[in-house]
Amino acid sequence: MDELEWIKQKKLREIMDRMKADDSKDDWPDKPLEVTDASFEEVIQRYPVVVVDCWAAWCGPCHMVAPVVDELARDYRGKIVFAKLDVDSNAATAMRYGISSIPTLLVLKNGQLVGRIIGAMPRPSLESQIVRYL
């Protein structure tokens, strides 16, 4: 195989690999994943950008944020994965990340905490704080 043919084949493989990577985003969730102490690490390592909504059933502001998080999960599918962590049932993860008030949204990139958003807010405010991590 001459050098030109080898370069063509290499470029073709790169293009196909990129297309596969883009196609793999089709299996990203379009709604928040329920995460637990047991599944948290797997989820944050699997996806490049994960926003975790730390909430509790008794928290009124958490219920106000939930539909916004649902919408964002649908609208940012393939770019951001959203997850929900019930802090009452998953105290180890809540303690690990120092969750002292809810709702708190943790923003993780490549498994590392890069941001924290505390409190209920309307979609435009929440969205503007999240998209800067893309």
- The string of pLDDT tens digits covering residues 73-114 is 999 999 999 999 999 999 999 999 999 999 999 999 999 999
Kindly state whether residues 36 and 84 are assigned to the same domain. Answer: yes
* Same domain, yes or no: 15 and 46: no
Picking from 123, 102, 30, the residue whose alpha carbon sits closest to that of residue 93 is 102
Same domain, 55 and 107: yes
CB 134 within 8 A of CB 74: no
Are 62 and 111 members of one domain?
yes
Q: Which pLDDT score, from 0 to 100, does residue 18 have?
A: 66
Verify that 54 and 91 share a domain, yes or no. Answer: yes
- Which tokens belong to 48? 């490049």
pTM, two decimals, is 0.80
Per residue, the 3-state secondary structure of the chain, as one string, reads: CCHHHHHHHHHHHHHHHHHHHHHHHHHCCCCCEEECCCCHHHHHHHCCEEEEEEECCCCHHHHHHHHHHHHHHHHCCCCCEEEEEECCCCHHHHHHCCCCCCCEEEEEECCEEEEEEECCCCHHHHHHHHHCCC
Catalytic member of 62, 72, 94, 106 = 62
Beta carbons of 108 and 96 less than 8 angstroms apart: no
Same domain for 7 and 67, yes or no, is no
- How many domains are contained in the chain? 2
Indicate which residue of 59, 68, 102, 105 is catalytic.
59
Residues 112, 50, single domain; the answer is yes
Active site residue 54: no
Strands ordered across the beta sheet of 33-35: 33-35, 81-86, 49-55, 104-109, 112-118
Considering the domain architecture, whether residues 14 and 65 belong to the same structural domain is answered as no
Domain range for 35 is 31-131
Look up 62 and say whether it is catalytic.
Answer: yes
Same domain, 12 and 61: no
* CATH number for position 39: 3.40.30.10
CA distance 101 to 94: 10
Residue 4 has pLDDT above 80, yes or no: no
One domain for residues 13 and 42: no
Based on the fold, state whether residues 9 and 71 are members of the same structural domain: no
Q: What digits encode the pLDDT tens for the residues 19-52?
A: 655 545 678 999 999 999 999 999 999 999 999 9
5 and 65 share one domain: no
